[in-house]
Chains A and B, each alone.
Chain A
Amino acid sequence: QSALTQPASVSGSPGQSITISCTGTSSDVGTYNYVSWYQQYPGKAPKLMIYDVSNRPSGVSNRFSGSKSGNTASLAISGLQAEDEADYYCSSYTSSSTRVFGGGTKLTVL
């Protein structure tokens, strides 16, 4: 199972919006509405931000949203804030009932 493909880095200024893509295959992202997104600060455990493509857990800001089209899922962050600077990972359920992560995207708030 190959890792999902994410851009290595994205950046944006405070107040702007950014999007992080996550490309898989028909064995994972393309077939199942089971993509989740995680935020990770250096030295900390990841935090769930989006599950099942577009659902936000309780307590996660509505500035975070998720979507999917074909084999590519996306995480959008609106109204960028300094605290959003972190690494972001996508994950998908697979046809083998396993899970697979993306390589991660470093978000820099300029």
Chain B
Amino acid sequence: QVQLVQSGTEVKEPGASVKVSCKASGYSFTDYYMHWVRQAPGQGLEWMAWINPDSGTNYAQKFQGWVTVTRDTSISTAYMELRRLKSDDTAVYYCARGLAGSSPGFEHWGQGTLVTVSS
């Protein structure tokens, strides 16, 4: 079965960077989009970026220049790095695998990684 297992909770100071990982199993890692979505405490979902099967990337305008998504196909793991952290970047960050074919939804989700930004 498809599984996305994310790295653990992070606590960072303002101005620091964080890199969250998402290890995939149960499917062909290189055949699907991987998305990153975040959710601030008590708030809604916010789409951040995707990396596609060709390792192309696309970012929400808000995150361009300070978020980078990458992947290592040798270990079926995707990464999301967020730089110059601010307190309002405190959120749960999810990876989410796309659907098969051309459908652009999010079929499988990781368990989420809580990133807390605090001095």
| Chain A positions near chain B (C-beta within 8 angstroms) | 1, 3, 34, 36, 38, 40, 45-48, 51-52, 55, 57, 89, 91, 93, 96-104
**C-alpha spacing A103/B46, complex, angstroms:** 9
- The residue on A at minimum CB distance from B6 is A45
Given A45-B111, A45-B112, A98-B58, answer yes or no on A36-B105 (Cβ-Cβ < 8 Å).
yes
**C-alpha spacing A98/B47, complex, angstroms:** 8
| Least CB distance, A26 to chain B, in whole angstroms | 17
How many B residues, CB 8 Å from partner? 23
Could you tell me if B60 and A98 are in contact, using CB atoms closer than 8 angstroms? yes
Chain B contacts for A40, CB-based, 8 A: 45
Chain A contacts for B14, CB-based, 8 A: none
Chain A contacts for B112, CB-based, 8 A: 45
**C-alpha spacing A93/B102, complex, angstroms:** 11
Chain B contacts for A3, CB-based, 8 A: 44
Given A38-B45, A101-B45, answer yes or no on A46-B58 (Cβ-Cβ < 8 Å).
no
B71: CB under 8 A from chain A?
Answer: no
Could you tell me if B99 and A99 are in contact, using CB atoms closer than 8 angstroms? no
Q: Which of A46, A47, A98 contacts B45 (CB 8 A)?
A: A46
- The residue on B at minimum CB distance from A46 is B109
**C-alpha spacing A96/B46, complex, angstroms:** 16
Could you tell me if B106 and A38 are in contact, using CB atoms closer than 8 angstroms? yes
Could you tell me if A99 and B50 are in contact, using CB atoms closer than 8 angstroms? yes
**C-alpha spacing A69/B44, complex, angstroms:** 24
Could you tell me if B110 and A91 are in contact, using CB atoms closer than 8 angstroms? no
> Can you offer 12 A-B residue contacts whose CB atoms are under 8 A?
A1-B61, A34-B103, A38-B45, A40-B45, A45-B94, A45-B109, A51-B99, A51-B107, A55-B103, A99-B104, A101-B44, A102-B44
Q: Which of A55, A93, A101, A102 contacts B104 (CB 8 A)?
A: A93
Given A51-B99, A99-B35, A99-B47, answer yes or no on A91-B106 (Cβ-Cβ < 8 Å).
yes
Chain B contacts for A97, CB-based, 8 A: 58
